[in-house]
Amino acid sequence: MLDFQAVRDREISLDELLAGVDKARLQAETNEMMDYILGQIGACTDADVVFTPVDPKANDPYASSEDEQEIAWNLGHLVVHVTASAEESAALAAEMARGVELHGRSRSEIPWETVTTIEQCRHRLEESRRMCLASLEMWPDQPYLDYIVETWKDGPQVNAIGRYVLGLSHAQSHLAQIDDVVQQAKTARS
């Protein structure tokens, strides 16, 4: 997996991390990320999916309501969030690769409350893998890699490859949280 932590820690730049990364590498990174998360939840049960963990750092300023801003995310919530972020980055990257002018966000996140079984989590991850990989097939043979955009106010400036990997980076930033929730759920059912 790409070491996004080195970028977060400002040891290297995103451009340095992505030197030599191409569409084939993005496909491999996508598969590796989805396989990793599927491995993390491999022994989980339906009860683990809806288990509410303890998370004293819970803070979601983008929550759909004030009531949800400080709730700890269960496994279903994490899977829905991570996959929606990956898909959004993949969709925007496909447009950038084709030279389409940035027009805002491209996000669709199913209600996390509807994901209550481990099979739904696995399905969501596999569906997201399929969608992200399919988005790469929309890239032309000669993508517009000189088309650079600012990802958000004061955020990094990226081309299509950078935009795509921001979804993977976001997923990677939640891996320890997924491990923690899985461990708490396992302990609770022991």
- The CATH number for 88's domain is 1.20.120.450
Provide the domain limits for residue 138. Answer: 23-188
Residue-level pLDDT, tens digit, the chain, 190 residues: 998 989 889 999 899 999 999 999 999 999 999 999 999 999 999 999 999 999 988 887 776 777 777 889 999 999 999 999 999 999 999 999 999 988 776 767 789 999 999 999 999 999 999 999 999 999 999 999 999 998 888 888 899 999 999 999 999 999 999 999 999 999 999 8
Q: Is 4 a member of any domain?
A: no
DSSP per position, the chain: ---HHHHHTTSS-HHHHHTT--HHHHHHHHHHHHHHHHHHTTT--HHHHH-----TT---TT-SSGGGTTPPP-HHHHHHHHHHHHHHHHHHHHHHHTTPPP-S-------GGG--SHHHHHHHHHHHHHHHHHHHTTS-SS--TT--EESSTT--EE-HHHHHHHHHHHHHHTHHHHHHHHHHHHHHT-
Q: Is 10 a member of any domain?
A: no
Q: Is 11 a member of any domain?
A: no
Q: How many domains does the chain have?
A: 1
Q: Is 141 a member of any domain?
A: yes
Q: Is 7 a member of any domain?
A: no
Q: Is 131 a member of any domain?
A: yes
Q: Is 74 a member of any domain?
A: yes
The pTM assigned to this predicted structure is 0.92
CB neighbours (10 Å) of residue 106? 15
Q: Is 3 a member of any domain?
A: no
